[in-house]
Amino acid sequence: MAQEKQLILVPDYLTVRELAELINASPIEVMKKLIANGIMAKINQQIDYDTAAIVIEEMGFEAQSLSAVQAAEEKKRRAETTTQTWRKVYSDEKPENLVPRPPVITILGHVDHGKTTLLDTIRQSRVAEGEAGGITQHIGAYRVQHNGRWLTFLDTPGHEAFTAMRARGAQGADIAVLVVAADDGVMPTTREALSHARAANVPVVVAITKVDKRNANPEMVKQGLAEFDLIPDEWDGDTLMVPVAAVKGEGIDDLLEALLLVADDMDIVANPKADPTGVVIESKVEPSRGTMATLLVLNGTLKQGQTIIAGESYGRIKAMFDDAGKPVKEAGPSVPVSVMGLNEPPQPGDIFRRVKNEKEARAIIAEQQEAAQTQSQARKLTLEDMFAQFTAGNAKELNLIVKADVQGSLEPLINSLEELSEKNAEGIRVRILSSDVGSVSENDVMLASASGAIILAFNVGVDNAARRAAATQHVDIREYNIIYKLLEDIELALRGMLEPVYKAKVIGSAEVRQVFELSRGKIAGCYVLEGEIRRNAKCRVLRNNKVLIEETGISSLKRVKDDVREVRAGFECGINLDHFNDFQEGDIIECFIMERVN
C-alpha cells in the first residue's frame, strides 16, 4: 500500500528560503531541484505557486494552494452565515442532480440614482430578444437574455423591499447591483443598501449611472465606495464597476456581461426534477381573477394543477402566466410566474412549497400558527445570551451594528472591536454589518432583525420609531457613553461572562382591609388598588412606607372561596404569603416581577 504524501499548504508567492523552511529542507537542495527544472533562482528570490509545487512534488510531498483553501473556507463560512435560509434547500440535493440555473439579480441604491430607469432600459431592450409583444403586465420580476443566456431581475427597487424579504429569511437574489449616480456619489442610503447586501452575503456589482451628465464624476464614486471596501477591479480590487447611461442605453451590454461573469464564479445551481419551492415576490387581489401571486421558483419545477403553501396561504394552481403575461403550464428554477388559485394573498418573502392536497396545507398552517405564537413570546439574541447560543451551536459569530456620535469616535471603536475578534480564544468572530455616524434609526433595527444583530449606540440617541420597532422585533439596543464599558461588555460576552441585569417592576398593589386568623396562619383580606396581583409573582409588604419583607412568594390567592391565578384592580381577594403572617389593616402588598433591563 502506497504511503500517503504529506500535504503542504503553499502561498501564491514565496522565496526559495521560505519554501525550504516549509518542507524542512536545505535551501541548497531546493535550488538544485529548481536548476534541474531549468529555473535559476537565488535564495531570497520569489517564485510562484506552480514553480514551488514542482519542487514539493519531486521531494515527496503534495502541494495545495493556500489561497484556494482559504477561498473554500470563506465560501463555506458565507454559506453558514447567510440570512438566505432558502439556500439550504440545495444542500439536501444530490450533487449529480444539480444543474446550472440563471442568476437572480436585485437592484439597490439611493432613491434618485436611476434604479427605475435602469430597470426599464434593461427590460425594454433585452426582454426575450426578438420576442414580439414584450412585457404586457408588471408582475414584480422579469427575465432578459444576453448572449444566449438568461438572467432574472427582481423588480423591487429600493433596499426597503430587500430588507422586508430578507427579514423572513427568504430574499431570493444571487447578485446585488448597487446603483450609484456619477453626479451625486455615495449617499447614506447607498451605505444602508450595501449593508443589506453584505448581510445577505451576496456579491455586489456597481452600476455607476448618469455618466452622460456634464457634472458626472465616476472617479469620485469609486473613491467613495473604496472607503467601504468596494475596490474597483481596475484598482486591483474584486468589485466590477460599470459606467451606465441608462436613458441613452449606453453600458447596458457591459453591465449584463459583468453580471454573467460574476455568476460564472458562483455555484448557482438547482434540481429541476425536485418538488418545487421558491419565494413570493408580490401578491394582490384582482376583481376578475381573484388572488394573484408572483412566485420565483428556486428549486424544482412548478406546474399548473399542483397544490402549494406559502406562509399562511394555500391553494391549487388554476392558471400560470409568465412575465410577458402569456399562459404557461410549468416554470423551472429562476423563472418568475404569476399564479392564480391561492385562497388569500401571501406576504412578499414567504417561502412556497408543494404539498399533497389542501387538507395537508390547512394542517401545516395550523401547526405554523401555533409555533408562531410560542416564538413570539421568546426574545431574539441578546449580548448576554450570545455565548450560550454559540456553545449550543446556534451562533457562530456576533453580528453588530455600530452607531457613534462623530467619525473620530467611530474609527477607534471599530478598530478595538476588530482586535477583540482576533484575540477571542473561544473562536467567536465579531462581524460588523454596518457602522455609521448618527442616531439609531428604524432602518438599523430592520437590518438587525433580519440578521440577528445587536445594535451598539455610542453617545447617540435612539429614534422613537426605532425604539418601537426594536420592541416589536425584539432587537437588543445597547446604549453607552464610555467606550471602555462598551468594549468590556463585548469582551465579557465573547467569554460568556456577561451577566444579565434584572430590575423589579411593580405590576399591582393591594390594601389589607381585614385580617383573618386561621389554623394555618393569617390570611389578609385585601382590595386590589391598581394593576393586578398574580399567584406566580413576588411580593413585598409595606407599612407606613417601610418595607417589612422583601421578595416573598404568594402561597395562596383566593377570590371568594376559589383558588385563582390573578386578581385585577377593583376586586377583593384573600392573600397568604410565604414566611410572613404579621398583617395589620392598612398594610400595602406590592406585587412585582423581575424584568430584564439589558
Distance (Å) of CA 135 to CA 150, 280, 333 = 16, 20, 20
Give the residue from 376, 399, 419 where a domain finishes: 376
Q: Examine the domain organization and report whether 262 and 119 are in the same domain.
A: yes
Alpha helices in 37-102 (DSSP H): 49-58, 66-81, 88-91
Residue 363 per-residue DSSP state:
H
C-alpha cell at 55: 519542487
591 in a domain, yes or no? yes
pLDDT tens-digit series, residues 158-205: 444 445 544 433 356 888 888 888 888 887 777 777 877 777 778 899
Q: Examine the domain organization and report whether 117 and 243 are in the same domain.
A: yes
Q: Examine the domain organization and report whether 128 and 202 are in the same domain.
A: yes
Is 157's pLDDT higher than 50? no
Q: Examine the domain organization and report whether 490 and 516 are in the same domain.
A: no
Is 494's pLDDT higher than 80? no
Distance (Å) of CA 394 to CA 378, 387, 449, 572 = 15, 10, 16, 47
What is the dihedral angle through the alpha carbons of 149, 155, 156, 159, rounded to the nearest 10 degrees? 50
Q: Examine the domain organization and report whether 256 and 150 are in the same domain.
A: yes
Highest mean pLDDT among 286-290, 401-405, 451-455: 401-405
- Partnered with residue 541 across adjacent β-strands are 549, 589
Q: Examine the domain organization and report whether 370 and 391 are in the same domain.
A: no
Instruction: Provide the pLDDT for residue 158.
Output: 46
Q: Examine the domain organization and report whether 235 and 113 are in the same domain.
A: yes
Backbone angle region of 205, left / alpha / beta, with phi > 0 → left and psi within -120 to 50 → alpha? beta
Mean pLDDT throughout 409-433? 79
Is 29's pLDDT higher than 90? no
Mean pLDDT throughout 454-478? 87
18 in a domain, yes or no? yes
**Share above pLDDT 70 across residues of the chain, in percent, rounded to a whole number:** 83
Residue 232 per-residue DSSP state:
B
256 in a domain, yes or no? yes
Instruction: Provide the pLDDT for residue 109.
Output: 75
Instruction: Provide the pLDDT for residue 350.
Output: 81
Mean pLDDT throughout 420-443? 80
361 in a domain, yes or no? yes
How many angstroms separate the first and last alpha carbons of the chain? 61
Mean pLDDT throughout 459-482? 87
DSSP string for 3-45: PPPEEEEE-SEEEHHHHHHHTT--HHHHHHHHHHTT----TT-
Q: Examine the domain organization and report whether 113 and 255 are in the same domain.
A: yes
Name the average pLDDT for the chain: 80
Residue 499 per-residue DSSP state:
-
Give the residue from 27, 48, 68 where a domain finishes: 68
453 in a domain, yes or no? yes
Nearest partner of 364 among 308, 323, 420, judged by Cα: 308
Of 31-40, 150-159, 185-194, 280-289, which range is least confident? 150-159
CATH number at residue 406: 3.40.50.10050
Residue 74 per-residue DSSP state:
H
**H or E, element range at 256:** helix 252-264
Domain containing 28: what range? 6-68
CATH number at residue 334: 2.40.30.10
Give how many domains the chain has, as a whole number: 5
> Regarding predicted confidence, which is higher, 528 or 65?
528
- Partnered with residue 534 across adjacent β-strands are 566
Instruction: Provide the pLDDT for residue 391.
Output: 53
Q: Examine the domain organization and report whether 263 and 149 are in the same domain.
A: yes
> Regarding predicted confidence, which is higher, 171 or 371?
371
Q: Examine the domain organization and report whether 522 and 581 are in the same domain.
A: yes
Give the residue from 269, 287, 303 where a domain finishes: 269
The rounded distance, in Å, linking the Cα atoms of 533 and 511 is 11
- Cβ(190)–Cβ(442) under 8 Å? no
Q: Examine the domain organization and report whether 119 and 250 are in the same domain.
A: yes
86 in a domain, yes or no? no
Q: What band does 116 get if pLDDT is binned at 50, 70 and 90?
A: confident
Instruction: Provide the pLDDT for residue 80.
Output: 56
Q: What band does 423 get if pLDDT is binned at 50, 70 and 90?
A: confident
29 in a domain, yes or no? yes
Is 533's pLDDT higher than 90? yes
Highest mean pLDDT among 8-12, 224-228, 400-404: 400-404
Is 118's pLDDT higher than 90? no
Is 132's pLDDT higher than 50? no
The rounded distance, in Å, linking the Cα atoms of 280 and 347 is 7
Highest mean pLDDT among 41-45, 171-175, 555-559: 555-559
The rounded distance, in Å, linking the Cα atoms of 200 and 84 is 6
Q: Examine the domain organization and report whether 478 and 524 are in the same domain.
A: no
Instruction: Provide the pLDDT for residue 426.
Output: 65
Nearest partner of 338 among 379, 392, 290, judged by Cα: 290
446 in a domain, yes or no? yes
Instruction: Provide the pLDDT for residue 131.
Output: 37
